[in-house]
Amino acid sequence: MPKLRDIAKACKSKNAGPFELTLDIMFEDAATFEKVRRTGVITPKLIAKLYRVPVESVVFTEYPPAFAYKATIERRIASGAVGDTDVYGAQQHAPLLDVEIPI
């Protein structure tokens, strides 16, 4: 079964301000996005499970104009505070790469 890393055009994380992290998953074209959308795998629940945050705290948007999904969650630790590991939040996407998509 293909994983997101095999079929996504972009899969990335980044700060959305100092306290939130935003995850973007984008596909090459409308057809791929639609196929992935029909599997129903990419949901707020999936994000909540991968990042161990309450599902109701996930801000989740399907964004067809960019063939993309966006999910925003609270950072584990505010950017640059004591104990933070990723000031820019640019390397928190890895758990998404292994998500299996049954298409």
Partner 1 sequence: MVSASGILGYGFPESSLKAGLERKPHMIGVDGGSSDPGPHYLGSGKTFTSELAIKRDLSLLLRGAIANNIPMMIGTCGGAGGEPHLQTCARILREIAREHDLHFRLALIHSEQDKGWLKQQLRAGRVQPLGAAGPLTGAVIDRAERIVGMMGPEPHLAALEAGAQVILAGRGTDPSPWAALALHHGIPPAQAWFAGKMLECACNAALPKKHDCLLATVAQDYVEVEPLNPELRCTPLSVAVQALHENASPVIHKEPGGLLDTTECTIAARSERAVRVSGMKWKPQPYTIKLEGAEKVGYSAITFAGTRDAGLIGQIDSFLAAVRESVATKVAALSVSSGDYELVLRLYGKNGVMGEWEPLKDAKTHEVGVLAEAVAKSQDIANAVISVTRVTLLHTDFPGRLCKEGNMAFPFSPSDIERGAVYQFSLRHVVQPNDPLEMFPIEYEKV
Contact string 51-90 vs partner 1 (x = CB under 8 A) = xx----x-x-x-x-xxxx-x-x-x-xxxxxxxxxxxxx--
If the CB atoms of residues 40 and 85 are measured against partner 1, the closer one turns out to be 85
The distance of closest approach from Cβ of residue 57 to partner 1 in the complex, given in angstroms and rounded to an integer, is: 8
Q: What is the CA radius of gyration of the chain?
A: 14
* Burial 57-83, CB ≥16 within 10 A → b, else e: ebebeeeeeebbbbbbbebbebbeeee
The distance of closest approach from Cβ of residue 96 to partner 1 in the complex, given in angstroms and rounded to an integer, is: 11
Kindly state whether residue 31 participates in binding partner 1, applying the rule CB under 8 A. no
Tell me if 23 sits within 8 A of 4, measured CB to CB: no
Tell me if 5 sits within 8 A of 102, measured CB to CB: no
Report strand pairing: 20-26 vs 59-63.
Answer: unpaired
**Residue count, binding to partner 1 (CB under 8 A):** 41
Which residues contact partner 1 by CB under 8 A? 14-20, 22, 24, 26, 50-52, 57, 59, 61, 63, 65-68, 70, 72, 74, 76-88, 91-92, 94-95
